[in-house]
Structure 1
Amino acid sequence: MVMEASASVTIRKTGCGPTGYEVDFRYVNATAKRVLIGGGMQPFTDQFHATGTEYRVNGLYDPHDYQPGDFYINNLSPLLPAEPDYKWPYEMKQSDDQDGLWTYTAPLPSGLYSYAYLVDCNYAPNCTIDTGHLVLDPDLPPFMNVPGDQVASSFQVPFDAEFQASPELNTNFDYALDAPDPDRHRGEVKMVNYTSPGSIHPAPDVHDFAIYLPADYRRPRCRTKQYPLLYLSHGAGGNAADWENLGRMSHIMDNLIRLGHIPPTVVVTPSFYNLDASLQDGRKYLHGNKSHSVPVPAAPRVRENFEKYLFPWVEAHYDVCRNASCRAFAGLSMGGLLTYEMYVNATGYFDYFGMFSPAVFGPFIDAAAVKAKPGLREKGIMVAYGLYDFVLPMARNLQSALDSVGIRYMTRVTPFGSHTWNTWQDELWWFGRIVLWKELPFIVRTGR
């Protein structure tokens, strides 16, 4: 049998339970003894078995056992029971004729799924691209700047109200599907290298970011204006390609713009790693070659670097706004901490801030800080986190600090959310819906 491709993922609408959709994985490897699907795939749980913010869940459901109200939750692999007590549900089967074809089919519900193939390797952190134990899908390669920067591809499954609707939860993620009418509604996203003295990746004195340009931007007749600009940061261990590759940021922005929730907006997703060898002892941090001894750079140092190199470069090369009223900064996890740093110490540069699952630590602003910098009261702020997110206590402490000095902000508690990409998709969507570019100052009715 001659195989036309070495791997593929197909999403099929079945019109049947349990989800109304099935996803087929096909992978060819004639020498493999076992193939698992990892790279972000997780089991499911429900509201009655998830146990809060410690990554521990009692309900670890196989997707074949899906029921409405089940949802994806992030589980740290070492906390999963070992075989034979617990069997990883995403295990591929080899064809009977031993032609090297491995297959797996699952009825997945609406949501974002990242994946890679684990070949003869049962624990993802021990599976590497270099050894051939972690294999990216050649037919659906990840969005990235340099090979090795990403270690998973992703796909989005649609929602089927007949089989997935739940009175407890709305887990409809169709806002991250492709927008209709590509010429009219779909922007473009690409990687850009810029001059950044001291950077160590992707080349000496060169750093990178991804940029989303709305469909409106590519029409020369429309580019007589300066577009609102959102900076959107990844979290610890990530890079500039994460929001597009793992979060489908461009699809969410396309639909926010198409539905009239925001005007056409440019989005820059920078990377806070590899900015300066002195921050990392000269060692690079890449998804494909992780070194856990490389720390997350201190947020003030990242802010100073961005202010000196990134922000001026973007303004010099793109038709983006030049004042705080149409500039925003948001980020997830440690990117949420960076967003808080921007709020406190780049207050005059941005008017809008989105802190998604923010890994924030005190001390926070107090009355003296607000008295010294009254502009802190005049910003559009969102603090968002998942109900099963380990940063929930940190985010609540931040909210308490804001409350104590009378600063108004929006909150989104994602009811199915853990520390994972479906949560951050939800938070970006609602940031656009109720916060981004809305009239300031916020009042009680803002966002209704």
Structure 2
Amino acid sequence: MAVSLVLIGLLALEAVASVTIRKTDRGPTGYEVDFRYVNPTAKRVLIGGGIQPFTDQFHTSGTSFRANGRYHPRDYQPGDFYVSNPSPQLPAEPAYIWPYEMNLTDAGKGEWTYTAPLPSGIYSFAYLVNCNYAPNCSIDTGQLVIDPDLPPFMNVPGDQVASSFQVPFNPAFQASPELNTNFDYALDAPKPWRGTVKTVNYTSPGSIHPAPDVHDFSIYLPAEYGAVAGKKYPLLYLSHGAGGNGADWENLGRMSHIMDNLIRLGHIAPTVVVTPSFYNLLPGSEKFIYGNKSQSIPVPPAYLVRENFVDYLFPHVESTFEVCSNASCRAFAGLSMGGVLTYEMYVNATAMFDYYGIFSPATNAPYVTREDVARRPELGKKGIMVAWGLYDFVFNQARDLLTAFDGAGVGYVNRVTPFGSHYWNTWQDELWWFGQLVLWKGVTGRETGRAKVPR
């Protein structure tokens, strides 16, 4: 057995947590993930977060967008994938326990363990201590515990409430003629190709977090950045969705790994990526912080976010970093409500960006019309990708958007992720294909350029 990843750290003076990813070269997936958590006072420990039940294409409803199979990972078969479940708790079934329940293997030490044979993909998690449902658990009370040596990427404490890890693909056990679920493009690139990612605070009058009149974003700088004197880099803005923040794309989606590999394989030129936060921008609004009641805080109107970004975020980025300042090398993309924001940028900040990635969009009419394009021909001269998951609950909204584009004569590239729900494996896939098929490929007014994709 070869250890791919071992992370061990102190939680408290006598507490330890670790996640180990092991290549086993045996079924069902060829990999196993070991969780270990030590807490002498815990009575029950669950693994909550993004380790979902599995299903396949033959046992998943396209109308409720819910996995009917709901297989335990120990029952994994090639072609299985996970679909995020929209209900708070799944019905009790003997085939699995959800969330995953850790076993008390050493009562004297308070050692809890759990092992699961997971296939390729991104997984987020936190330990739920004496608590049965993650939204009811609190960091402050110690019921929701983040792995201490696998800390999430975030700006200030509280900005994220889950860690994540990526499991490699093992073709001997995971290859399927029905479905390609290889997510290795989100693994570490070789060191010379690894960019850097960090958080940045900037002045934003009226913003309320992380401080009064201060807002924040995360930024990815490609490995080449700073090595070529005077070079200006293409710039992609990449938005999170409702209930998220600007650290999501890195912490939960491994954005920097995907960008490293897109650049390494020659799909895109070295590109700077900014992932902003659209909560906490407006004076008088309720503060959004992960882990409190913030999930019920309304999403700010897209036009107000656009106005704030145009006034404060965009000028700060262009004055601080070596990035381009014209539409031909600028792009905006986002997921879910971030897709709504992307559409807002397309309609009302049209001159600023030539490329748009509208991922799992929660958009609603009115949409652009043929008359709009006749008045503003630039609307029909953009590189656009609209993408969503086959089991995505915004399926109908995304399809309606494409119908509107068809009626308006607006060209686009469309990706329906065949294993995708409204979750991070879908958005990883969409960013990957956006880079391969659309980003910086040139705009013809009818469709974007076509990339030669390795098979």
TM-score range, shorter chain: over 0.9
* Residue from 211, 216, 228 that aligns with 2:224: 216
Q: Which amino acid is 1:266 matched to?
A: V
What is the Cα deviation at residue 85 of structure 1? Answer: 8.7
Cα deviation code 1:363-415 (max 9, x no counterpart): 10112211221100110000000000000100000000000111110001100
2:348 maps to 345
C-alpha spacing 1:120/1:401, structure 2 compared with 1 (3 Å): same
Does 2:236 correspond to 1:230? yes
CA distance in 2, matches of 1:13, 1:261: 29
Native 8 Å contact 2:36 2:113 kept in 1:
yes
Residue identity matched to 2:58: F
CA offsets 1:66-103 (integer angstroms, 9 cap, x no match) = 10011011002425104779622621111145311111
CA distance in 2, matches of 1:4, 1:302: 39
How big is each residue's C-alpha offset from its partner over 1:294-353, in whole Å with a ceiling of 9 and x where there is no partner?
A: 210000110011000000000000000010000000000000000000000000000000
**Is this contact kept in 2: 1:45–1:70, CA < 8 A?**
yes
**For 1:53 and 1:213, how far apart are their aligned partners in 2?**
41
- For structure 2, the residue ranges without an aligned partner over 5 or more in a row are 1-7, 11-15
Q: 8 Å contact 2:441–2:449 — kept in the other structure?
A: no
Q: Whose strand fraction is larger, Structure 1's or Structure 2's?
A: 2
Distance 1:439 1:398, change over 3 A: same
Residues 224-251 of structure 1 deviation map (CA, whole Å, 9 limit, x = unaligned): 2110000000000000100000000000
Identify which of 360, 365, 375 aligns with 2:363.
360
Query: 1:113-149 deviations in whole A, cap 9, x for unaligned?
Result: 0000011111111111111111000010000011011
Normalising by structure 2, what TM-score? Answer: 0.94
| Letter in structure 1 aligned against 2:450 | T
CA contact (8 A) 1:217 1:223 kept: no
Could you tell me which residue of structure 2 aligns to residue 413 of structure 1? 416
Task: Read off the aligned partner of 2:439 and give its amino acid letter.
Answer: L
* Contact persistence 2:90–2:98 (CA under 8 A): no
Given candidates 189, 199, 218, the residue that maps to 1:191 is 199
Other-structure match for 1:253: 259
Paired with 1:96 and 1:239, the residues of 2 have a C-alpha distance of: 38
Which of 398, 403, 420 is matched with 1:400 structurally? 403
Q: Could you tell me how far apart the structure 1 residues matched to 2:412 and 2:340 are?
A: 16
RMSD of the alignment, in Å? 1.5
Residue type at the aligned position of 2:222 = P
Q: Are the equivalent residues in 2 in contact too, given 1:159–1:174 (CA < 8 A)?
A: yes
Residue 432 of structure 2, aligned match among 408, 429, 432: 429
Looking at structure 2, the residues matched to 238 and 4 of structure 1 have their Cα atoms a distance apart, in angstroms, of 27
> Percent of counterpart pairs with the same letter?
72
After TM superposition, give the deviation of residue 287 of structure 1 in Å: 1.2
> Which stretches in structure 1 are left out of the alignment for 5+ residues?
none
Deviation of 1:169 (Å): 0.5
Cα deviations by residue, 1:25-62 (Å, 9 ceiling, x for unpaired) = 11011111111100222111111111025343211111
- 1:169 match: 179
- Describe the SS at the equivalent of 2:101: coil
Q: Is the 8 A contact 2:242 2:337 kept in 1?
A: yes
* Equivalent pair of 1:148/1:289 in contact (CA under 8 Å): no
Maintained 8 Å contact 1:51/1:57: yes
Instruction: Decide whether the 8 Å contact of 1:188 with 1:215 is kept in 2.
Output: yes
The corresponding residue for 2:140 is 130
Alpha-carbon distance in 2 for matches of 1:402, 1:174: 33
Deviation at 1:430, TM superposition (A): 0.2
Corresponding position: 1:207 with 2:215: yes
User: 2-side partners of 1:132 and 1:77: how far apart?
Assistant: 25
Match of 2:13 in 1: none
Secondary structure in 2 matching 1:388: coil
Superposed counterparts of 1:19-34, under 5 Å: 19-34=29-44
Q: 1:29 to 1:138 in 2, by over 3 A?
A: same
Residue in structure 2 matched with residue 264 of structure 1 by the alignment: 270
CA contact (8 A) 1:377 1:407 kept: yes
**Corresponding residue for 1:313?**
316
Q: Secondary structure at the match of 2:238?
A: strand
> Which amino acid letter does the alignment assign opposite residue 187 of structure 1?
G
Partners of 1:53 and 1:387 within 8 A in 2: no
2:424 maps to 1:446: no
Instruction: Find the counterpart in structure 1 of residue 3 from structure 2.
Output: none
Q: Distance in 1 between matches of 2:157 and 2:287?
A: 14
SS, match of residue 335 in structure 1: helix
Change over 3 Å in CA distance of 1:444–1:149 after alignment to 2: closer
Aligned residues of 1:235 and 1:333 also touching (Cα < 8 A): yes
User: Where in structure 2 are the equivalents of 1:8-407 lying within 5 Å?
Assistant: 8-78=18-88, 80-82=90-92, 87-88=97-98, 90-180=100-190, 182=191, 184-219=192-227, 222-278=228-284, 280=285, 283-407=286-410
Contact 2:442 2:448 in 1 (8 A): no
TM-score, scaled to structure 1: 0.95
Q: 1:349 to 1:46 in 2, by over 3 A?
A: same
SS in 1 for 2:67: coil
Amino acid at match of 1:446: R
